[in-house]
Structure 1
Amino acid sequence: MAFPDRIERTVELVQPPAKVWAALTTAEGLGTWFGNGATVDLREGGEAKLTWDSGDQATLHIERVDEPALFAFTWGINGLAADDPRRTYVEFTLEPAGAGTRLRMIESGFAQLTEDAYRKAFESNTDGWKHELGELVEYLNAA
């Protein structure tokens, strides 16, 4: 059975790319809209660590940094053991759109999973990105 391998979302934002970039790549930004706290070593090969009030944590392994146009990372797959080496790749691209920014998010790498693991991870992340990108918009509009 072939599954869709990627989740893709595009959001039109009224803020300029530099402001959106800061929301995606700083501890203040990530720790507000994507988690409840964050640390960020913003460089290729660096890590961002996210924490939530629930006690959940995530480590983002930073793969690409091209300010202010591209930010990409890999992270563990929801539902797999913490030591499982399989990861998905998340890429944010930013492009000017008038006075604002067109933000495109693609998460890929789900096809490497078994059908059961795929279903759990893909559905969870699809719903998660709807929620998280909504929080990003709220964060940017409040700033």
Structure 2
Amino acid sequence: MGFPDQIVRTVELAHPPTKVWAALTTAEGLGSWFGNTATIDLRPGGQARMTWTEGGQVANMRVERVEEPTVFGYTWPINGLPDDDPRRTYVEFTLEPVGAGTRLTVVETGFAQLSEGAYKEAFEGNVGGWKSELGELVEYLDAA
């Protein structure tokens, strides 16, 4: 198809990789900035779940990659598709030490498998979603 398959976002964080890693890979961290509650079995093949109070949304995720403290990846449902649709996107966080802080890059791929209509809703929704969520991550880390 003729549209981008991935979303890439990079943010510079004034916190060490170990602190950022904990925010990304623990139930406490994920439930504080990403969702309202979270569970996670941090191993390849492990399950994770996030819920949002507003709108009653739930995301069931599968942990795919864990290379502490530099790479964390999972697959999750595609926004706008029915709950039983097997298609997923893959999200990977890469942490790179930069001085006393961390450069965090988030890449989400898998949008090219969608029809044009489904693509537009999912891709545009997640572009805005990552902007918002990464802002919440910064706030969470700065407050901790």
Query: Is this a same-fold pair by TM over 0.5?
Result: yes
Aligned to 1:113: 114
Once the two structures are TM-superposed, the CA of residue 60 in structure 1 deviates from its matched residue by: 1.3
Once the two structures are TM-superposed, the CA of residue 122 in structure 1 deviates from its matched residue by: 0.3
Runs of 4 or more off by more than 6 Å in structure 1? Answer: none
Once the two structures are TM-superposed, the CA of residue 56 in structure 1 deviates from its matched residue by: 1.0
Whole-angstrom CA distance in 2 between matches of 1:75 and 1:48: 9
Whole-angstrom CA distance in 2 between matches of 1:15 and 1:64: 22
Q: Deviations over 1:23-78 (max 9, x none)?
A: 00000000010000001111100011101112211011100000000000000000
What RMSD over aligned residues (CA atoms) do the two structures have, in Å?
0.6
**Secondary structure, in 3 states, of the residue corresponding to 1:137?**
helix
**Secondary structure, in 3 states, of the residue corresponding to 2:85?**
coil
1:95 maps onto 2:85 in alignment: no
**Secondary structure, in 3 states, of the residue corresponding to 2:123?**
helix
Aligned to 1:14: 14
Q: Which amino acid aligns with 1:51?
A: T
Structure 2 unaligned spans of 5+: none
Structure 1 unaligned spans of 5+: none
**Secondary structure, in 3 states, of the residue corresponding to 2:23?**
helix
Pairing 1:23-102 to 2, within 5 Å after superposition: 23-54=23-54, 55-102=56-103
TM-score (structure 1 length as normaliser): 0.98
TM-score (structure 2 length as normaliser): 0.98
Q: Percent sequence identity over matched residues? A: 70
